[in-house]
């Protein structure tokens, strides 16, 4: 039988991916360019018995998602720039309390209200550091309509498996662009459910990892199942209750950070394009990586051996990939629709082994392959 | 027979953090008695709070408990209730938590008539942060951020909730424990959004700068100034100045949010 194939937008692909992953609860607040996600889920989620609610603001939407997740439901919210800013306090609550949830941020031009319909990749650092305090977070940045589907599924999987909020960083270009999407069949992609408690209710401690099937990941009970546990945004002990004991506070904070470190290999995803013989490296992500791929092909036609390292998982950042690249190329170019954000990580990972240059735009136009090619050619002359 | 608080209090979480003379503990007691009287299963109750002295309450209760961010408890509770309609969801909140930073969530929870009971521990001040002015502080009262007397007019939580569409609205005081218990019972069993404004006492951050000063005197004021709604309705407005009108202000049947979603939206979507 032919697989189902449709011409759909990135936001529609995200909706389909969420349904494939088994989303049961969505709370949101309309904002361009993400509104097709709440619209799509309000149509489709109740068909599967799930709940979609439009809350009074993004703070409330993030809160409702956390509440729903605590009852054991796979939960998601979607927003864009200003709404992403509003979600940050409660996102920190989810991060600290290891509450699975997916937060879609369709990046648009900023700061402030900026350009509601203008493309941008301006929230890369906010995705990492938007909420106060050191905290674990995962961020994924797909670059095509089919990949938005698979990365949405992966976002749920990582979130549920490792108990960490996952941010799906889309941008206005890929959210509104349409491409042919061949739908995976049921069972074709892995769908992961969170691990429930392994002990009876009277022995259950919500942040105890001593009996965890996955080291450092505490099994998660759900409200209303006989496991009566406490969750607080205060520093807490493994039984969930507040503490002022510095030793315990430090130990718990280290554990939630080390958890990401322990499983980061399972979270990493990069694509190597024409890197084997590359002399020029382009490090890209999201919509800019589409321009970068085109630029690589064109540059090769003109005799410049360029290659692209594309980051799908942005946080945690896979440093080794850049480090290896930096050892063999003459220079690295990082195209971004911002004034230079991921470039800081690239520079750090390159450890001075090669020079790293940005190609940036904040004039609400997309990065054109030509922009990247010009930069590469200009730098090649100097060598 | 003596009431068995141990049945509902988590071992090892006491002593609580509240100051001597604070009214919050008395109100908690009424809540436990109400829950016990209703014979509710602890496994089926979620107690959610924001931030503040009152918001530390859920931690003491052996139930499904969640201590969230300042002002946002109702929004977290909305997610819980919608995702698991079997749960009775109770939100405990300070007056600042409920009516200042959380005011938007309060009016929208009321508008939706979602099946949540909101208990406002209304002590007219920000207790936890040290006596700053609250949106419930009376005109002229001294607060650390209103050292020359408050000029910021207070909310009447009852009228606010009523205006926003809450279908059960009541007021009582921390002194009137029997009434509080009865109102909690009715609110928890009410189908829809219920709000109880409990006039409460913070001797440490409010009393200390205002009159009366001491906890017992503050309770005396609650006792002396309370007037049941039925009586108040027969009085002239000038006779009610400074009075605390208690009782049930609103009780009506309206479609409630979660029930409507599950009984209407889901079947409609599935029929298409
Ligand atoms: C976002 C945010 N802003 C401010 C605070 C500081 N804060 C903690 S409790 C509180 C007010 C508490 O007053 P109320 O809600 O009336 O409760 P009470 O302490 O009197 O019981 C404030 C402003 C905070 N924790 N979070
Ligand atoms: S500061 Fe006031 S509200 Fe807080 S515990 Fe003390 S008396 Fe109660």
Residue to probe by mutation, ligand 1, list B92, B97, B137, most atoms within 8 Å of CB: B97
CB B170 within 8 A of CB B248: yes
Residue A80 CA, ligand 2 centroid: distance in Å: 39
Instruction: Answer whether residue A112 is part of any domain.
Output: yes
> Which of A49, A64, A70 is facing B75, going by the closest CB pair?
A64
Q: For residue A111, what is the domain's CATH number?
A: 3.40.50.970
Query: Domains, chain B, ranges and CATH?
Result: 18-271 (3.40.50.970)
CB atoms within 10 A of CB A87: 27
Residue B204 beta carbon below 6 angstroms from any ligand 1 atom: no
Distance separating alpha carbons of residues A179 and A7, to the nearest angstrom: 5
Chosen domain end from A244, A267, A290: A267
- Does the distance separating the beta carbons of A225 and B261 come in below 8 Å? no
Alpha carbon A23 to chain centroid, angstroms: 17
- Per DSSP bridges, beta strands B125-126 and B132-133 are antiparallel
Say whether pLDDT at A2 is over 80. Answer: no
Distance separating alpha carbons of residues B211 and B149, to the nearest angstrom: 13
| Structure tokens belonging to residue B114 | 């979602």
Q: Give exposure, A46-69, as e/b (b: 16+ Cβ within 10 Å).
A: beeebbbbebbbbbbbbbbbbbbb
| Contacts of B56 by beta carbon, 8 Å cutoff, 6+ apart | B16, B17, B18, B49, B67
Indicate whether A27 and A167 sit together in one domain: yes
| Contacts of A251 by beta carbon, 8 Å cutoff, 6+ apart | none
Residue to probe by mutation, ligand 1, list B70, B100, B206, most atoms within 8 Å of CB: B70
Distance separating alpha carbons of residues B64 and A107, to the nearest angstrom: 36
Residue B157 beta carbon below 6 angstroms from any ligand 1 atom: no
Q: For residue A221, what is the nearest residue in chain B, using CA coordinates?
A: B64
Number of domain units in chain A: 3
Using one digit for the tens of pLDDT, what is the confidence trace for A109-129?
Answer: 999 999 999 999 999 999 999
Quick one: average pLDDT of A311-340?
A: 98
Say whether pLDDT at A1 is over 80. Answer: no
- Residue A321 DSSP SS3: helix
Surface-to-core class of residue A227, CB atoms within 10 Å of its CB (0-12 exposed, 13-18 middle, 19+ buried): buried
What confidence score (pLDDT) does residue B2 get? 84
| Structure tokens belonging to residue A337 | 């629709």
Residue to probe by mutation, ligand 1, list B71, B128, B133, most atoms within 8 Å of CB: B128
Instruction: Answer whether residue A51 is part of any domain.
Output: yes
Ligand 2: which residue has its CA nearest to atom 6?
A: B19
Tell me which chain B residues have a C-beta less than 8 angstroms from the C-beta of A24. 83
CB A220 within 8 A of CB A192: no
Indicate whether A71 and A205 sit together in one domain: no
- Residue A126 DSSP SS3: helix
Q: Taking the CA of residue B168 as centre, how many other CA atoms within 13 Å lie in the half-sphere pointing to its CB?
A: 23
Instruction: Answer whether residue A190 is part of any domain.
Output: no
- Does the distance separating the beta carbons of A226 and B108 come in below 8 Å? no
Residue B134 CA, ligand 1 centroid: distance in Å: 10
- Per DSSP bridges, beta strands B64-67 and B116-122 are unpaired
CB A81 within 8 A of CB A57: no
Ligand of minimum distance to the alpha carbon of B50: 1
Instruction: Answer whether residue A34 is part of any domain.
Output: yes
- Does the distance separating the beta carbons of B78 and A60 come in below 8 Å? yes
Ligand 1: which residue has its CA nearest to atom 10?
A: B52
What confidence score (pLDDT) does residue A382 get? 65
CB A372 within 8 A of CB A298: no
- Type and span of the H or E element at A359: strand A355-360
Quick one: average pLDDT of A345-373?
A: 97
Shortest CA distance to B198 belongs to which of B232, B163, B161, B233? B161
Instruction: Answer whether residue A177 is part of any domain.
Output: yes
Of all residues in chain B, the percent with pLDDT exceeding 70 is 100
- Does the distance separating the beta carbons of A93 and B75 come in below 8 Å? no
| Contacts of A168 by beta carbon, 8 Å cutoff, 6+ apart | A14, A102, A103, A104, A105, A139, A140, A141, A142, A148, A151, A152, A155
| Structure tokens belonging to residue A12 | 């529609």
Rounded to the nearest integer, the mean pLDDT of chain A is 97
Q: Is the dihedral of CA B171, B64, A59, B53 positive or negative?
A: positive
Distance separating alpha carbons of residues A21 and B1, to the nearest angstrom: 53
What confidence score (pLDDT) does residue B236 get? 97
What confidence score (pLDDT) does residue B157 get? 98
Using one digit for the tens of pLDDT, what is the confidence trace for A171-190?
Answer: 999 999 999 999 999 999 99
Of all residues in chain A, the percent with pLDDT exceeding 70 is 99
Q: State the pLDDT confidence band at A256, using cuts at 50, 70 and 90.
A: very high
Residue B205 beta carbon below 6 angstroms from any ligand 2 atom: yes
Q: For residue A333, what is the domain's CATH number?
A: 3.40.50.920
Tell me which chain A residues have a C-beta less than 8 angstroms from the C-beta of B43. 224-226, 228
- Does the distance separating the beta carbons of B63 and A67 come in below 8 Å? no
Ligand 1: which residue has its CA nearest to atom 8?
A: B52
- φ, ψ for residue B151 (rounded to 5)? -110, 5
Distance separating alpha carbons of residues A193 and B58, to the nearest angstrom: 29
Indicate whether A74 and A158 sit together in one domain: yes
Indicate whether A11 and A49 sit together in one domain: yes
ipTM: 0.98
Using one digit for the tens of pLDDT, what is the confidence trace for B97-107?
Answer: 999 999 999 99
Instruction: Answer whether residue A93 is part of any domain.
Output: yes
CB atoms within 10 A of CB B229: 14
> Which of A56, A71, A241 is facing B59, going by the closest CB pair?
A241
Whole-prediction pTM:
0.98
Indicate whether A87 and A155 sit together in one domain: yes
CB A165 within 8 A of CB A91: yes
- φ, ψ for residue B246 (rounded to 5)? -115, 160
CB A11 within 8 A of CB A181: no
Indicate whether A176 and A210 sit together in one domain: no
CB atoms within 10 A of CB B1: 3
Distance separating alpha carbons of residues A5 and A24, to the nearest angstrom: 24
Distance separating alpha carbons of residues A14 and A86, to the nearest angstrom: 22
| Contacts of B9 by beta carbon, 8 Å cutoff, 6+ apart | B32, B60, B61, B62
Instruction: Answer whether residue A350 is part of any domain.
Output: yes
Residue recorded with tokens 């976002």: A155
Ligand 2: which residue has its CA nearest to atom 5?
A: B18
* Runs of H (alpha helix) within A120-245: 124-129, 145-162, 172-176
| Structure tokens belonging to residue B35 | 């829950």
CB A87 within 8 A of CB A61: yes
What confidence score (pLDDT) does residue B272 get? 87
Distance separating alpha carbons of residues A15 and A23, to the nearest angstrom: 9
Indicate whether A111 and A167 sit together in one domain: yes
What confidence score (pLDDT) does residue B1 get? 67
Quick one: average pLDDT of A367-382?
A: 94
Residue B141 beta carbon below 6 angstroms from any ligand 2 atom: no
Say whether pLDDT at A381 is over 90. Answer: no
Distance separating alpha carbons of residues B41 and A241, to the nearest angstrom: 22
Indicate whether A322 and A246 sit together in one domain: no
Strand partners, B121: B94, B198
Quick one: average pLDDT of A236-240?
A: 98
Instruction: Answer whether residue A196 is part of any domain.
Output: no
Indicate whether A173 and A316 sit together in one domain: no
Chosen domain end from A267, A299, A319: A267
Indicate whether A230 and A322 sit together in one domain: no
Indicate whether A18 and A156 sit together in one domain: yes
* Runs of H (alpha helix) within chain A: 10-21, 36-44, 58-70, 81-96, 124-129, 145-162, 172-176, 246-267, 286-301, 319-328, 342-350, 369-381
| Structure tokens belonging to residue B86 | 């079997």
pLDDT tens sequence for chain B (272 residues):
689 999 999 989 999 999 999 999 999 999 999 999 999 999 999 999 999 999 999 999 999 999 999 999 999 999 999 999 999 999 999 999 999 999 999 999 999 999 999 999 999 999 999 999 999 999 999 999 999 999 999 999 999 999 999 999 999 999 999 999 999 999 999 999 999 999 999 999 999 999 999 999 999 999 999 999 999 999 999 999 999 999 999 999 999 999 999 999 999 999 98
Residue B124 CA, ligand 2 centroid: distance in Å: 11
Domain that holds residue A250: 201-267
Tell me which chain B residues have a C-beta less than 8 angstroms from the C-beta of A29. none
Distance separating alpha carbons of residues B41 and B37, to the nearest angstrom: 11
Establish if B260 touches chain A: CB-CB under 8 angstroms.
no
Distance separating alpha carbons of residues A152 and A74, to the nearest angstrom: 12
CB B57 within 8 A of CB B18: no
| Structure tokens belonging to residue B12 | 């090892």
Indicate whether A167 and A222 sit together in one domain: no
How far A102 CA sits from the closest chain B CA (Å)?
15
Distance separating alpha carbons of residues B244 and B225, to the nearest angstrom: 6
Cis peptide before A316, with omega less than 30 degrees from 0? yes
């Amino acid at each position: 039988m032919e697989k189902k194939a449709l011409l759909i937008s990135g936001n529609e692909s995200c909706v389909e991916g969420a349904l494939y992953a088994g989303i049961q609860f969505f709370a949101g607040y309309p904002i361009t360019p993400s509104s097709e996600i709440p619209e799509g889920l309000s149509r489709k989620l109740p068909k599967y018995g799930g709940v979609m609610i439009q809350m009074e603001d993004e703070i409330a939407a993030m809160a409702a998602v956390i509440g729903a997740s605590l009852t054991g439901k796979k939960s998601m919210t979607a927003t864009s720039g200003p709404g992403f800013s509003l979600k940050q306090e409660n996102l920190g609550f989810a991060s600290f309390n290891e509450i699975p949830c997916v937060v879609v941020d369709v990046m648009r031009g900023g700061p402030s209200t900026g350009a509601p319909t203008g493309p941008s990749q301006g929230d890369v650092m906010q995705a990492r550091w938007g909420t106060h305090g050191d905290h674990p977070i995962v961020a994924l940045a797909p670059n095509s309509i089919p990949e938005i589907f698979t990365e949405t599924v992966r976002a749920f999987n990582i979130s549920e498996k490792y108990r960490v909020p996952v941010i799906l960083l889309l941008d206005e270009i890929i959210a509104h662009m349409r491409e042919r999407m061949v739908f995976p069949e049921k069972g074709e992609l892995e769908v992961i459910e969170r691990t429930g408690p392994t002990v009876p209710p009277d022995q259950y401690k919500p942040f105890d990892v001593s009996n965890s099937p996955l080291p450092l990941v505490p099994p998660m009970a759900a409200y209303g199942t006989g496991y009566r546990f406490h969750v607080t945004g205060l520093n807490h002990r493994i039984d969930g209750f507040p503490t002022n004991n510095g030793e315990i506070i430090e130990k718990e904070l280290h554990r939630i950070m080390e958890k990401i470190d322990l499983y980061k290999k399972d979270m990493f995803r990069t694509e190597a394009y024409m890197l084997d013989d590359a002399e020029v490296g382009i490090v890209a992500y999201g919509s800019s990586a589409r321009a970068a791929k085109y630029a690589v092909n064109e540059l090769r036609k003109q005799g410049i051996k360029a290659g692209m390292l594309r980051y799908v998982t942005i946080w945690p950042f896979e440093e080794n990939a850049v480090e290896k690249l930096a050892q063999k190329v003459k220079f690295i170019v990082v195209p971004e629709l911002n004034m230079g954000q991921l470039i800081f990580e690239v520079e750090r990972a390159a450890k001075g082994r090669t020079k790293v240059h940005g190609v940036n735009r904040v004039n609400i136009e997309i990065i054109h392959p030509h922009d990247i090619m010009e930069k590469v050619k200009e730098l090649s002359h100097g060598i | 027979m003596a009431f068995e608080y141990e049945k509902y209090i988590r071992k090892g979480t006491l002593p609580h953090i509240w100051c001597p003379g604070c009214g919050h503990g008395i109100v908690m007691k009424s809540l436990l008695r109400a829950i016990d009287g209703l014979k509710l299963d602890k496994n089926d109750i979620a107690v959610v709070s924001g931030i503040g002295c009152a918001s530390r309450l859920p931690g003491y209760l052996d139930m499904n408990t969640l201590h969230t961010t300042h002002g946002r408890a109702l929004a977290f509770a909305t997610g819980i209730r919608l995702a698991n309609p079997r749960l009775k969801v109770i939100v405990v909140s300070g007056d600042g938590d409920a009516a200042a930073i959380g005011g938007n969530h309060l009016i929208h929870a009321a508008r939706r008539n979602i099946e949540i009971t909101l208990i406002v521990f209304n002590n007219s001040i920000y207790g936890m942060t040290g006596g700053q002015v609250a949106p419930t502080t009376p005109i002229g009262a001294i607060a650390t951020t209103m050292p020359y007397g408050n000029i910021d007019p207070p909310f009447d939580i009852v009228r606010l909730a009523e205006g926003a569409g809450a279908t059960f609205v009541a007021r009582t005081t921390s002194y009137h424990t029997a009434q509080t218990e009865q109102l909690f019972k009715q609110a928890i069993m009410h189908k829809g959004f219920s709000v109880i404004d409990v006039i409460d006492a913070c001797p440490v951050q409010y009393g200390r700068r205002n009159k009366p000063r001491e906890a017992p005197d503050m309770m005396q004021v609650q006792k002396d100034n309370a007037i049941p709604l039925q009586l108040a309705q027969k009085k002239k407005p000038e006779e009610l100045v400074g009075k605390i009108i208690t009782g049930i202000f609103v009780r009506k049947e309206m479609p409630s949010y979660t029930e409507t979603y599950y009984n209407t939206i889901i079947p409609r979507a599935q029929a298409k």
